[in-house]
């Protein structure tokens, strides 16, 4: 089985103050200090999103979703910074129900967020819609909030192939699956789960942790067969030092380990 004590030890040993505060919230619900929250929210653009790089001014959908994931681990999605970010995400949706990065980011955006790229557009759509689901509506915005999520889900559902696969990155599948599951579109969600289950045995630990934590966050049962397979894969990919390896470089190993802890807590 997963050695959660070793995973906790890895975060304590290698994480910074924000990482350790995320761990404390995930383990015991301990509220982070004001200083930690200020550090987690730093750099927010005036529009409400977060830029991809420190000192930049154009908000990025991908970077904003990543920051919301960190704030979720701090129990901070109800704070003003997160509410502004969710509001910016909602108002950034295109008329076709999808999301795309600002054209000015074309020279610096990673492949999964490149403006003008169909695969990136579908990933960003599922990612933004997922965080709108998790974050919930602002008071008085319930109807439009639900409509935004529904438009995104329809755009994703329209892209699905007959076998349940999707024309985008692997992560797009579980984020889109989570949105469809949340809306009660269980047939389409089940199709995607079958396609994902075929991939789980060869997934990296980072992808497995992201899949597991995303589907658990929207209420999928740990008894679900896909999550059972993912739990087995997390056991296989945990390192001897208790952590899991990020696909984006060693500097993100603690983040990946926190995702696994979030999934399995």
Arithmetic mean of pLDDT, 168-174:
98
The pLDDT tens digits for 193-250 are 999 999 999 999 999 999 999 999 999 999 999 999 999 999 999 999 999 999 999 9
Q: Is the pLDDT of residue 57 over 90?
A: no
Q: Please report where in the chains the tokens 């579908």 appear, as a residue.
A: 122
Q: Which of 55-59, 149-153, 176-180 has the lowest mean pLDDT?
A: 55-59
Arithmetic mean of pLDDT, 92-101:
97
Contacts of 112 (CB under 8 A, 6+ apart): 62, 119, 120, 123, 169, 171
Q: Please report where in the chains the tokens 């919301």 appear, as a residue.
A: 68
Arithmetic mean of pLDDT, 118-137:
98
- pLDDT at position 53 is 86
Q: Is the pLDDT of residue 104 over 90?
A: yes
Q: Is the pLDDT of residue 55 over 80?
A: no
Report the C-alpha gap between 192 and 199 in whole angstroms. 11
Q: Is 193 left (phi over 0), alpha (psi -120 to 50) or beta?
A: alpha
Position 184 confidence tier, pLDDT thresholds 50, 70, 90: very high
Q: Is the pLDDT of residue 54 over 90?
A: no
- pLDDT at position 171 is 98
Domains recognised in the chain with CATH numbers: 4-264 (1.50.10.20)
- pLDDT at position 153 is 98
Report the C-alpha gap between 205 and 200 in whole angstroms. 10
Q: Tell me the whole-structure pTM to 2 decimals.
A: 0.96
Percent of the chain's residues with pLDDT above 90? 96
Q: How many CB atoms lie within 10 A of CB 150?
A: 14
């Amino acid at each position: 089985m997963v050695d959660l004590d070793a995973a906790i030890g890895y975060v304590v040993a290698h994480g910074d103050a924000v990482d350790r505060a995320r761990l404390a919230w995930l383990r015991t619900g301990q509220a982070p200090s004001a200083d930690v929250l200020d550090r987690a929210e730093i750099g927010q653009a005036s529009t409400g999103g977060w830029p991809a790089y420190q000192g930049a001014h154009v908000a990025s959908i991908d970077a904003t979703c990543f920051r919301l994931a960190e704030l979720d681990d701090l129990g901070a999605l109800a704070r003003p910074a997160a509410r502004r970010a969710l509001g910016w995400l909602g108002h950034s949706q295109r008329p076709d129900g999808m999301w795309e990065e600002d054209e000015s980011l074309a020279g610096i955006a990673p492949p999964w967020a490149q403006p003008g790229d169909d695969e990136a557009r579908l990933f960003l759509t599922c990612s933004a819609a997922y965080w709108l689901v998790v974050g919930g509506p602002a008071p008085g915005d319930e109807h439009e909030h639900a409509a935004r999520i529904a438009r995104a889900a329809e755009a994703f559902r329209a892209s699905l192939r007959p076998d349940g696969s999707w024309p985008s990155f692997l992560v797009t599948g579980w984020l889109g699956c989570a949105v469809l599951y949340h809306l009660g579109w269980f047939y389409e969600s089940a199709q995607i789960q079958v396609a994902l289950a075929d991939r789980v045995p060869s997934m990296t630990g980072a992808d497995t942790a992201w899949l597991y934590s995303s589907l658990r966050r929207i209420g999928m049962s740990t008894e679900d067969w896909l999550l059972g397979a993912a739990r087995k894969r997390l056991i296989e990919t945990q390192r001897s030092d208790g952590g899991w390896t990020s696909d984006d470089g060693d500097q993100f190993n603690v983040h990946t380990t926190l995702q696994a802890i979030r999934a399995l807590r």
